[in-house]
Chain A
């Protein structure tokens, strides 16, 4: 059953690819016209609707484009940044000395890279998500700088940008945009990663009611040592329906308020130039007007900040891989073994193909998502952004280590930058939400969305809405005829599967669901991009088609396999054994097998 479904999906993809090669031009024109008129908030969400088995083609086809003026803008922006990174940034030195030199920071500030997305009225560059992603491709060439900038603008000042009031924006954003002030985002605590209930930092209203006093400590704060403005999340007492409750609130805290002490910078494996340290707050007085949003509303703000910051990792990784391909291909072409250059060996070729594939997919996903986010209204692209992050952080890690492998022993030495890339890259699956947590997020958010709609429909049907019932039957018919995608997440007659209530604890199932969806989205992005390239005749579009076909083929098989694993009692599914092994190992807190050399008699 599932095999059929997925193969159908794939066929649709192929069909779309074919169709769009021919019709994309017209359709694109139509869509652009429509989009220019449309101003209200868009409700369509591509990735979420995949959970319902719906492919909202209008959302992803054609591939988002930027206007010609923006292309010009990019050209003007990218060249100096590229020049700066190739001439003035000494990544090896930053890594060695574990600090970014002041002149380098000044250079970044002069380029305006500290305020890429801050609107022009507040002194920033006011650029779109797409251009932000483009700039990140270059910035990512140095992990430390990328993390410093991301901590500053992707999360550090994002709170003020998306939830701050006019006065706060006017007061803080200009200095942050110029880089005079550096921002940090303070959420993680020793006892609290993603668990809001265990946040210990507390903000209490002073007696005169003008200040909040913040007490507590935060750990692993990027830019913690040099930040002047911090977005701090703390527990506050809020009265809800007459009952006093603790809720999370967000505050803008200046270092100048006093009472803030930063610990020793952490000695890290990678991104060594970025500053990560512990911050402790001791009765820091924060004026009431520095509360972001309303008091008790910090949870939503934190979630929004975290969700919005992730999409750029795709382009960052793609930029890094593109650079790595340049570096390693030169070596592969010149190094000779047995009178053959390395590039003639199949296993080396495979590595390059894989790097190209990964870069292509990441790029496609990142710019598709950025394009969606740039559309008017407030589109909810958090699911897509999380997908981009998971895919690119894992792909990036594999590519970087394969690139090192091409050089063999040389790559392992400090004479080459590869070991640094490997170390820097290792943080990607960890920060901005670990990939494990993001997979949970992807699967559960999607299921929540699909489940709501489906239960609603069933309620309607039970009430006797014959029209809807007929509609469902019709849809079922159409599904069986191959017109839409069924991901097998719905049970009989589209009913929510009875085990959905406990699905939250079935992490291995959720992981697979998330992986399937991530690959679906990746395939979509790749197909959309390739079909656009064909239809407007971009250079080397045949190569893109080749990459797209290869990736889709591969992803199709992987998805197939995962879907089969999701079936009940499928022999491919080893989950029960995996859980058992883990349980026994964890109970003993050790590897429990006897040594193979041991004897009993």
Chain B
């Protein structure tokens, strides 16, 4: 309903504007576009061709007749078309010499649309514009796409009869329209009613771009909330907030509590040296605390990391406190206590022995991965910092004072904050991590035990 109403309104508006444009062909068009033409001619064709073009314009006063271009101008047209791609790129470069913003991009489109009422080479222009969009930072802006779509002349490509409808009417233009929609799709931009109105005006119903639009509108809303763990478009800037967000997201536990062990701050020591304290944000759930409290103090726990976590285009690193899975002899199942529940038997005490072949259990290979007791994020993944985290944890988990803690750290993420150099950094991390794994934890465990319970300095392998 709403769409069609909009469509109608826009159509009438456009007809008005078309009419306005058509009425004073010589005066208005020449006057308005004079300046632009100078720009155009200097860049594209050179001064000599300028008067010819101006003459040319008078032939095509009605956009409806553009397809019946006079044959004698074909040569010139071909010439420009060959160059057009470069030329349109130039246009962008020239208009937006200093700054590449949305405003300048819009200006380029304006320049192009006002330059030539016939919109000659608009397909090339649109392709060029699409290519330039990321440069101008407008690749995710729906209004810009709509403005770009508006460059297409209206009603010219709409098939008029069944034969046109049956065959691919104006294939290049349709393809270009599809391309534009495809770029929107790949940037996750959902078209709106204006897009639809434009497409209908340009290509008509049931054309390829329109189909593409319908497909997008079918799938996009369906996938919009497909992710059960959505990441906001704008991630928090503050590293502490970001850490809080990513830890909560990873833990996915409503009861898990985020603790900020240290806020980032810069201090100047007595000697004048500047000391930057890293932030330390940790997360732990009550069930993790419970599991840690039950951990056998003779077996060490490990601080491992950094592990990368990608949040859209940001990579953050986290560390975990974990232990190896308990050996089978330590896993004692609580024996069934018939005096456990006052109200009903918690287990049926039946002597069910089975015949041969009655065994219905499946052969399931269980891989125990070992428990994770806590996670943390910090801007500085060295041992001293992580030690601070562990001693912070120790306040709520006193048992940590008795358990030897080993640090198995890879290369720190300090140099990894940027997106660009992650590849090399993670590579080194993996190799160093693998190397450190080989060290014998037994010795270290003893060494740590001596230093307990005050964990002023951890043990590095």
Residues of A within 8 A of B (CB): 187, 194-197, 247-248, 299, 302-303, 306, 433, 437-438, 440-441, 444-445, 447-448, 451-452, 455, 459, 496, 498, 500-501, 503-504, 589, 594, 600-601
For chain A, what secondary structure do more than half of its interface residues adopt (helix, strand, loop), or is it mixed? Answer: helix
Closest to B351 in A: A455
Cβ-closest 7 pairs across A and B: A600-B221, A441-B344, A299-B339, A451-B350, A440-B344, A194-B343, A437-B343
- With A452-B350, A496-B350, A601-B220 in contact, is A196–B345 under 8 Å at CB? no
Would you call B339 and A503 a contact (CB within 8 A)?
A: no
Chain B, residues 344-371, CB within 8 Å of chain A (1/0): the string is: 1111111110000010100000000000
Would you call A496 and B352 a contact (CB within 8 A)?
A: yes
CB neighbours (8 Å) of B217 from chain A are: 601
Closest to A303 in B: B342
Would you call A197 and B340 a contact (CB within 8 A)?
A: yes
CB neighbours (8 Å) of A601 from chain B are: 190, 192, 217, 220-221
CB neighbours (8 Å) of B341 from chain A are: 194-196
| Alpha-carbon separation in the docked complex, A248 to B339 (Å) | 9
CB neighbours (8 Å) of B342 from chain A are: 187, 194-196, 299, 302-303, 306
Would you call A195 and B352 a contact (CB within 8 A)?
A: no
Closest to A501 in B: B352
Would you call B343 and A433 a contact (CB within 8 A)?
A: yes
Distance (Å) between the CB of A392 and the closest chain B CB? 18
- With A498-B358, A601-B220 in contact, is A306–B348 under 8 Å at CB? no
CB neighbours (8 Å) of A437 from chain B are: 343-344
B224 close to A (CB within 8 Å): yes
Would you call B350 and A455 a contact (CB within 8 A)?
A: yes
B348: contacting residue among A197, A438, A441, A504, CB under 8 A: A504
| Alpha-carbon separation in the docked complex, A504 to B347 (Å) | 6
Chain B, residues 312-350, CB within 8 Å of chain A (1/0): the string is: 000000000000000000000000010111111111111
Distance (Å) between the CB of B230 and the closest chain A CB? 13
| Alpha-carbon separation in the docked complex, A500 to B347 (Å) | 10
B162 close to A (CB within 8 Å): no
Query: How many B residues, CB 8 Å from partner?
Result: 25
Task: State which residues 401-422 of B face A: CB under 8 Å.
Answer: none
Chain B, residues 34-69, CB within 8 Å of chain A (1/0): the string is: 000000000000000000000000000000000000
The interface centre, meaning the residue of B217, B254, B341, B346 with most chain A CB atoms within 10 A of its CB, is: B341
The interface centre, meaning the residue of B342, B345, B351 with most chain A CB atoms within 10 A of its CB, is: B342
Closest to A296 in B: B339
CB neighbours (8 Å) of B221 from chain A are: 600-601
List, sorted by A's number, 16 A–B pairs whose CB atoms are closer than 8 Å: A194-B344, A196-B340, A303-B342, A438-B343, A438-B344, A440-B343, A444-B345, A444-B348, A452-B351, A455-B350, A455-B352, A496-B350, A501-B348, A503-B348, A600-B220, A600-B225
| Alpha-carbon separation in the docked complex, A455 to B355 (Å) | 13
Would you call A195 and B254 a contact (CB within 8 A)?
A: no
Task: State which residues 127-159 of B face A: CB under 8 Å.
Answer: none
Closest to B216 in A: A601
Distance (Å) between the CB of A91 and the closest chain B CB? 31
| Alpha-carbon separation in the docked complex, A115 to B93 (Å) | 102
For chain B, what secondary structure do more than half of its interface residues adopt (helix, strand, loop), or is it mixed? Answer: loop
CB neighbours (8 Å) of B343 from chain A are: 194, 303, 306, 433, 437-438, 440-441
Distance (Å) between the CB of B263 and the closest chain A CB? 30
| Alpha-carbon separation in the docked complex, A44 to B316 (Å) | 70
Q: A194-B342, A195-B340, A504-B348 are in contact. List 5 more A-B contacts (CB 8 A).
A: A194-B341, A194-B343, A448-B350, A459-B351, A601-B192
Task: State which residues 212-257 of B face A: CB under 8 Å.
Answer: 217, 220-221, 224-225, 254
Distance (Å) between the CB of A584 and the closest chain B CB? 10
CB neighbours (8 Å) of A496 from chain B are: 350, 352
CB neighbours (8 Å) of B224 from chain A are: 600
| Alpha-carbon separation in the docked complex, A248 to B254 (Å) | 35
The interface centre, meaning the residue of A187, A194, A589 with most chain B CB atoms within 10 A of its CB, is: A194
- Residue pairs across A and B with CB atoms within 8 Å: the count is 78
Would you call A448 and B352 a contact (CB within 8 A)?
A: no
| Alpha-carbon separation in the docked complex, A258 to B313 (Å) | 68
Closest to A433 in B: B343
| Alpha-carbon separation in the docked complex, A195 to B340 (Å) | 6
Distance (Å) between the CB of A298 and the closest chain B CB? 9
| Alpha-carbon separation in the docked complex, A435 to B224 (Å) | 44
Would you call A247 and B339 a contact (CB within 8 A)?
A: yes
- With A600-B224, A601-B221 in contact, is A501–B345 under 8 Å at CB? no
CB neighbours (8 Å) of A302 from chain B are: 342
| Alpha-carbon separation in the docked complex, A530 to B307 (Å) | 75
Distance (Å) between the CB of A485 and the closest chain B CB? 22
| Alpha-carbon separation in the docked complex, A64 to B306 (Å) | 77
Would you call B346 and A504 a contact (CB within 8 A)?
A: yes
| Alpha-carbon separation in the docked complex, A447 to B348 (Å) | 8
CB neighbours (8 Å) of B337 from chain A are: 197
| Alpha-carbon separation in the docked complex, A594 to B345 (Å) | 41
Distance (Å) between the CB of A369 and the closest chain B CB? 18
Closest to B334 in A: A197
| Alpha-carbon separation in the docked complex, A580 to B343 (Å) | 27
Closest to B342 in A: A194
CB neighbours (8 Å) of B225 from chain A are: 594, 600
CB neighbours (8 Å) of A500 from chain B are: 348, 350, 352
Would you call B350 and A196 a contact (CB within 8 A)?
A: no
Closest to A434 in B: B343
| Alpha-carbon separation in the docked complex, A197 to B341 (Å) | 8
Distance (Å) between the CB of B345 and the closest chain A CB? 5
Distance (Å) between the CB of B429 and the closest chain A CB? 33
Closest to B344 in A: A441
- With A196-B340, A302-B342 in contact, is A589–B254 under 8 Å at CB? yes
Would you call B360 and A498 a contact (CB within 8 A)?
A: yes
The interface centre, meaning the residue of B217, B220, B341, B344 with most chain A CB atoms within 10 A of its CB, is: B344
Closest to B255 in A: A589
Distance (Å) between the CB of A509 and the closest chain B CB? 13
Closest to A456 in B: B351
| Alpha-carbon separation in the docked complex, A192 to B53 (Å) | 93
| Alpha-carbon separation in the docked complex, A600 to B218 (Å) | 11
| Alpha-carbon separation in the docked complex, A196 to B350 (Å) | 22
Closest to A451 in B: B350
Distance (Å) between the CB of A427 and the closest chain B CB? 17
Closest to B341 in A: A194
Closest to B360 in A: A498
| Alpha-carbon separation in the docked complex, A433 to B190 (Å) | 57
Distance (Å) between the CB of B394 and the closest chain A CB? 26
CB neighbours (8 Å) of A452 from chain B are: 349-351
Closest to A459 in B: B351
CB neighbours (8 Å) of B346 from chain A are: 504
| Alpha-carbon separation in the docked complex, A533 to B350 (Å) | 42
The interface centre, meaning the residue of B224, B225, B339, B345 with most chain A CB atoms within 10 A of its CB, is: B339
- With A451-B350, A498-B360, A501-B352 in contact, is A196–B339 under 8 Å at CB? yes
CB neighbours (8 Å) of B348 from chain A are: 444, 447-448, 451, 500-501, 503-504
| Alpha-carbon separation in the docked complex, A255 to B350 (Å) | 44
CB neighbours (8 Å) of A501 from chain B are: 348, 350, 352
CB neighbours (8 Å) of A441 from chain B are: 343-344
| Alpha-carbon separation in the docked complex, A498 to B357 (Å) | 13
| Alpha-carbon separation in the docked complex, A459 to B348 (Å) | 18
CB neighbours (8 Å) of A440 from chain B are: 343-344
CB neighbours (8 Å) of B350 from chain A are: 448, 451-452, 455, 496, 500-501
Closest to B348 in A: A448
| Alpha-carbon separation in the docked complex, A447 to B346 (Å) | 12
CB neighbours (8 Å) of A196 from chain B are: 339-342
Distance (Å) between the CB of B36 and the closest chain A CB? 37
Would you call B339 and A448 a contact (CB within 8 A)?
A: no
| Alpha-carbon separation in the docked complex, A433 to B348 (Å) | 20
The interface centre, meaning the residue of B221, B225, B351, B358 with most chain A CB atoms within 10 A of its CB, is: B351
CB neighbours (8 Å) of A299 from chain B are: 339, 342
Distance (Å) between the CB of A277 and the closest chain B CB? 21
Closest to B337 in A: A197
Closest to A443 in B: B344
